[in-house]
């Protein structure tokens, strides 16, 4: 299957700082990328959908000013958690699709805000 690379795998940051997470489709052009948040032993919660060259569509309840998403090319989307606080600590996962094919997932990023 296709490969989606997500970096970093884990990050620890101080409260009030910003953290950027990258999601790259390595061997295909992703028309759409998705960002999820996952709490321990729970399902994936969709945060936003991003299409290359256009603004991301955020799910209800997700603060777009806190979770900045940029999809500048067909192979790269970034999620920036701005002014991070301990409650933003979580596991973040991206996925990418090409056309109507199935989604492929990055390996996830564990964010810890101290």
Partner 1 sequence: AQTVTQSQPEMSVQEAETVTLSCTYDTSESNYYLFWYKQPPSRQMILVIRQEAYKQQNATENRFSVNFQKAAKSFSLKISDSQLGDTAMYFCAFRSGSARQLTFGSGTQLTVLP
Which residues are near partner 1 by CB under 8 A? 1, 32, 34, 38, 41-44, 46, 49, 91, 93, 95, 97, 100, 102-105, 107-108
Considering beta carbons, is residue 48 or 81 the nearer one to partner 1?
Answer: 48
Q: Using DSSP, state whether 105 is helix, strand or coil.
A: strand
As measured in angstroms, the least distance from the Cβ of 83 to partner 1 is 26
Q: Using DSSP, state whether 34 is helix, strand or coil.
A: strand
Considering beta carbons, is residue 5 or 82 the nearer one to partner 1?
Answer: 5
Phi/psi class of residue 62: alpha, beta or left (left: φ > 0; alpha: ψ in -120 to 50)? beta
As measured in angstroms, the least distance from the Cβ of 44 to partner 1 is 5
**What Rg, from alpha-carbon coordinates, does the chain have?**
13
As measured in angstroms, the least distance from the Cβ of 16 to partner 1 is 27
Pairing state between β 109-113 and 10-13: parallel
């Amino acid at each position: 299957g296709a490969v989606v690379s997500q970096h970093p795998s884990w990050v620890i940051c101080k409260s009030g700082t910003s953290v950027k997470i990258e999601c790259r489709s390595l061997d295909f052009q992703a028309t759409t990328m998705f960002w999820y948040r996952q709490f321990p032993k729970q399902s994936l919660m969709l945060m936003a959908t991003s299409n290359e060259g256009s603004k991301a569509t955020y799910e209800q309840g997700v603060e777009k000013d806190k979770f900045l998403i940029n999809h500048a090319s067909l192979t790269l989307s970034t999620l920036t958690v701005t002014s991070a606080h301990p409650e933003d600590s979580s596991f973040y996962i991206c996925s990418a699709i090409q056309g109507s094919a199935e989604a492929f997932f990055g390996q996830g990023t564990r964010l810890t805000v101290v």
